[in-house]
Homo-oligomer: A and B are copies of this chain.
Amino acid sequence: MPIALPPHRCLSQPVLRQSTTTLSFETRGRGFIEITRAVGDWVRASGVQAGLLTLFIRHTSASLVVQENADPDVCGDLERFFARLVPDGDPLFRHRDEGPDDMPAHVRAALTSVQVSVPVDDGRLALGTWQGIYIWEHRTDRHRRDVALHLVGS
């Protein structure tokens, strides 16, 4: 029965809107790059107070992870664990076009995440106290990594 409603009805609650962008980051070879601040700044600039932010990394040999941002040993230990779990140059692998770290990077990506969504509350990412958002570069060489962002909210 939309016709029966007054015209301003559509504004009686905040109208949802969306924003998108792609942020690019230079990695330093295997390891973690924290992107929490860059992503949070973009959310703030959008003016959205409540909503949902989605990050999607457009690569198959790097991941997005949410991990502890307090003790740097956590990221170091994650790297050491994955290096042991998925060893470079494993003779099991046939896909070696780009070297001994090529296929292990794909396996690490499959074991972690290509995408993460974080609620936005009060204009800020609703991360826990110790949570940061990271790009985890799995290749030994430096790469430019594109992260597509989508924000819906009001």
Q: Is A18's CB under 8 angstroms from B153's CB?
A: yes
* Chain A: interface size category: 35 or more
Residues from chain B with a CB closer than 8 A to the CB of A16 are: 16-18, 152
Q: By the criterion CB–CB under 8 Å, are B20 and A13 in contact?
A: no
| Interface residue from B18, B121, B153 paired with A154 (Cβ < 8 Å) | B18
A150, B77: Cβ atoms under 8 Å? no
For residue A76, CB closer than 8 A to chain B, the reply is yes
A140 within 8 A of B: no
Those 6 A-B pairs whose CB atoms lie nearest each other, nearest first? A58-B128, A2-B11, A7-B7, A73-B95, A10-B10, A119-B150
User: A residues within 8 Å of B by Cβ?
Assistant: 2-3, 5, 7-13, 15-18, 20, 22, 50-52, 54, 56-60, 65-68, 71, 73-74, 76-78, 80-81, 84-86, 90, 92-95, 97, 103, 106-107, 109-119, 121, 126-131, 146, 148-150, 152-154
